[in-house]
Amino acid sequence: MMTALWTLADMAKAMRADIVGAPDADIAGISIDTRTIEKGEAFFALTDVRDGHDFVEAALNAGASVAVVARNKRDRFAADARLLLVDDVLDGLRDLARASRARLNAKVIAVTGSVGKTGTKEALRLALSADGETHASVASYNNHWGVPLSLARCPADVKYAVFEIGMNHAGEITPLTKLVRPHVAIVTTVEPVHLEYFGSVEKIADAKAEIFLGLEPDGAAVINRDNSQYERLAAAATAAGVKNIVRFGEHESCEARLIRFVLRADTSCVHADILGHEAHYKLGAPGKHLVRNSLAVLAAVSLAGADLALAALALGKLRAPVGRGARIVLHPSGGSALLIDESYNANPASMAAAIALLGQAETGARGRRIAVLGDMLELGGDAENLHRALAAELAAAKVDLVFCSGPLMHSLFQALPSGRRGGYAGVAAELEPAVIDAIRPGDAVMVKGSFGSKMAPIVKALEKVYAGTPAAEADAGG
């Protein structure tokens, strides 16, 4: 039997919508994509990249209970079409999100930061689910439509709810955090990302600090003490009226403090003090950046009143998602190789973390560490220098071979010693054949670049050519 997410009456009331036709009384879910819509869901005809009104008929034919459309486009649909008419579809979604937040009794956590938002959100989902029913935004739904969509999809009876909030420009986080109204707000870190739009890291910190403006009374701000922008973030939190500031990191003043950690090729072991409670736990995915962010996760768990021991134990099941460190075993003739998929996005901080991760990866006999890198975008006037600086990171990680694509990565390629140059191409598609030909048994290969640099197809090609299989705990074999 279907459990209703919303009743039609409650949806209509929240959005001040007119009901047309005879939609079902209960709504099973909310969709914005006819390719994945399920029977009984409400389809919202958002107009972002494309006009969702063009897909309303397909949604209704696919079994949608109702379509939410703009009043001024009513005449595009049949007289008996199952519709909810609103002045503006996105505004209607925001209104539904407000109604969703108003009916929640859950502890709500919001996450932002230049790097690590999605991974931290997923770790929170895993950790909190060990204690009770938890809702979290899917994928990276962290923008002007993704946050209200995630909130409107939240069941009324969950115990915890986690939302990721992102931005490209100043002022974008404020309306989203005021919609979510978190009890705990995490800033993972502030790094030189979107510099093209901000001009300085300080201005990026100011934009991230907007998340504190939506905190509930007596809410907590969880801030990276080891980050260069900590003082600025803490001052912004205080100015926003936040009285409970929780610091995480290695600094001795941290309430969530890293005492000791051991990094391994496929996992990390952590000893930490979390708000006065000693915690020993294992992370099911490698990398110091994940170790650091796990402190924020467990601090938020504790602040939300969830079971810290269960949460710490659950982090042993953590796995890096597709495009963000997922590990795949390739099968070249004569053995196996490890592929680390970091193709979803890139900036200087996440690139450094991914290169360090490649440096930790175990290789087989005669295996090499290979980095396949695409341009990091939106870095402004210092972009070439930021790309060139990666040469030192690659050397420190003992990366043997580097393939580069894109005009900005040409700066890095020229800075590499000749023995480390694997190949260069103007675009990723032209680099693909050389990367495929380079793979040998025992290799560990990492692919990374900004979304716009189109590195993901190289990952897909390697998986296809070398019969890639997901690796829960993957080490390259000889």
The pTM is what?
Answer: 0.89
Structure tokens that stand for 6 in this block: 């919303």
Query: What does the pLDDT look like over 43-95, one tens digit per residue?
Result: 999 998 899 999 999 999 999 999 999 999 999 999 999 999 999 999 999 99
| Residue carrying structure tokens 């979107």 | 194
CA dist 114 to 85, 97, 192, 440, 474, Å? 38, 25, 8, 35, 28
Query: What does the pLDDT look like over 152-168, one tens digit per residue?
Result: 999 999 999 999 999 98
The reported pLDDT for the residue numbered 195 is 78
The reported pLDDT for the residue numbered 476 is 36
Neighbours of 225 (CB within 10 A): 22
What structural domains and CATH numbers belong to the chain?
6-87 (3.40.1390.10), 104-317 (3.40.1190.10), 326-470 (3.90.190.20)
Residue length of the chain:
478
Question: Within 183-229, where are the H helices?
Answer: 195-198, 201-208
Query: What does the pLDDT look like over 247-257, one tens digit per residue?
Result: 999 999 999 99
Arithmetic mean of pLDDT over the chain: 95
Instruction: State how far the Cα of 258 lies from the Cα of 288, in Å rounded to an integer.
Output: 11
User: Is the confidence at residue 22, as pLDDT, over 90?
Assistant: yes
Query: What does the pLDDT look like over 178-195, one tens digit per residue?
Result: 999 999 999 999 998 877
Query: What does the pLDDT look like over 308-356, one tens digit per residue?
Result: 999 999 999 998 888 888 999 999 999 999 999 999 999 999 999 999 9
Q: How confident is the model at residue 2 (pLDDT cuts 50, 70, 90)?
A: low
The reported pLDDT for the residue numbered 58 is 96
Secondary structure E strands in 91-159: 107-112, 134-136
Helix or strand run (H / E) with residue 186: strand 184-187
Query: What does the pLDDT look like over 101-150, one tens digit per residue?
Result: 999 999 999 999 999 999 999 999 999 999 999 999 987 899 999 999 99
Query: What does the pLDDT look like over 260-305, one tens digit per residue?
Result: 999 988 899 999 999 999 999 999 998 899 999 999 999 999 999 9
| Residue carrying structure tokens 């949806």 | 11
CA angle 63, 66, 69 (to 5 degrees): 130
The reported pLDDT for the residue numbered 472 is 61
Burial class (CB in 10 A: 0-12, 13-18, 19+), 1: exposed
Mean pLDDT along residues 209-213: 98
Mean pLDDT along residues 6-25: 97
The reported pLDDT for the residue numbered 478 is 34
Mean pLDDT along residues 432-447: 97
